Structure 1
Amino acid sequence: MSILKTTNLTKKFGKFTALDGVNLELNKGEVLGFIGPNGAGKSTTIRVLLGILKATEGEVSIFDKDAWSDAVEIHKRIAYVPGDVNLWPNLTGGEVIDLFAKLRGSSNTKKRDELIEKFDLDPTKKCRTYSKGNRQKIALIAAFSSDADLYILDEPTSGLDPLMENVFQECVRDVKSEGKSVLLSSHILSEVEKLCDRVSIIRQGEIIESGSLNELRHLTRTQMLVETREPLGQLGNLKGIYAIQKKGQSTSFQIDSNEIDNVIKYLSQFGIVKLESAPPTLEELFMRHYEGTEDRVGAGGTD
């Protein structure tokens, strides 16, 4: 069941096209990772979803309602966390959390108190004294203590330390287990990799890839480490081999996923003693899209 869907979403600012035919879909109980470099169009997309900006062209629906004309109704069922939280300086953290709860018309004080403890927040301090990380905690506590159906999180862990990032990841898993949906825009690719069912990659206002992590693995290479009884032959002559490095008796290299079978057959003739492989990380996948041409190590082809 589709919770959020954009169809050919286009947003222009004068002659500049910020979003060009963006198609996104988020289903019930799913976590969708939305990644791309600064200026790619992530925040513009999110502002359109929130009804802050009106799409120039295309359709944007949340809960089968129009994101622009039905924004007030939609907001009753969503929780939003921006990457840079601004708060009322003279209110305490606890007062801000309670204010957000009252604005939503619902308050789960037990859940709120549990999250305050989990995020290690002192709610009695004035907001003007909080660090960026603590301001972020307030927004996250307010969001996750609400009974939302959709969580839109735009760089939500900006300023959090690694321990608090783990708490955040627990919160996302908890709401997912309750059948809620999450749109997660993040630069922390390991975070996206741990949490997301599917990923959409945006570049210069266009979605260039969408799919599950397994479906996107073909875009990058697997890291392999091999040790053989006999010295390896000209590994660099094989198709799909990159970044060869010899370390004593071991040789490490990167390999295009569709060439793994051929390479293992080749390696087996030298007597494999040890073979390790690591699937490509989302970070490698991401860099493959945005970096320029990469020099091939060894003969036998180019990218």
Structure 2
Amino acid sequence: MQVLRLGTRGSKLAIWQAEYVARQISARMPELNIEIVIIKTKGDKILDVPLAQIGDKGLFTREIENELLANRIDLAVHSMKDLPSVLGEGLALGAVLKREIPQDVLISPQGYTLQTLPQGAVIGTSSLRRIAQLKALRPDLELVNMRGNVETRIRKMHEEQLDGIILAFAGVKRLGFVDSISQIIPVEQILPAVGQGAVAVEIRRDDVPVRSILESINDTECWLETSAERAFLAELEGGCQVPIACLARVTESKVLIEGLVAALDGSQVYKDSVEIELPLDYEFLTDFSVRQATVRQVKEAGQGLAASLLRAGAGQILEEIKGLGD
């Protein structure tokens, strides 16, 4: 294999991620010629409607996956949080790169934090996950729909004279807007989306040569964290956008998994956590069977956490939200 075709969306952040993956591969296999192929997705074409109203899984991935399955590209680079919790037939994760800080941030022209925002402040976000948690934390805030890339949202914030916008730290940092951040929001206040801050590389399931190439850039810690989070989401997920959040963190030889399901208006929030022990040598899981067993362990913990939230009452919230789309 001399040319490796890498598929991606065309946004600045997506291009950054694609180039990041390309650099990581090139550093280990400089003989490869990596070609970046830009593919437009449905989510890129519909910019004036909140994502929750579109109600479609794979908004930012399906067209890229179709190109992958058609063998017109060799791998696809995504923001992990855009990937459906269950991949399509014939597809698999090939690698997950080292994670950026997964938290959300507040960008405010006045330098506010969530605590110092004035009564009735106007905040821009289109994420149901963020909206539900913000309403639970600060029910006085006025929340307005805000979509687009990082630059677009910052521009709209100033044009519409908003008091702030909520974004993911990873995208803000990767596009060079760290100096605009007013607050990195603690996970105790807003729990991030599943996979937030992680870059995922998707491949054809049976493509052994590409899988072998990607093995060298895979980050074991991030793979374990996102495996737990995606298992949590898969256990809960229905057919619509819902306020679900989950964050797994590897610390020493443990994984702490925190999960949340909230009502759309923030009136009910179901939140819990679980901690599991890992093999002492988890960073060096080179034996395939040992690594697979460890991944199964964290997935089961994520599923168990989701099941406990369902038993506590989160299932009723999810059913009510699904009913709104019928």
Taking structure 2 as the reference length, the TM-score comes to 0.25
Question: Which protein is richer in helix relative to its size?
Answer: 2
Question: Which protein is richer in strand relative to its size?
Answer: 1
Larger Rg: 1
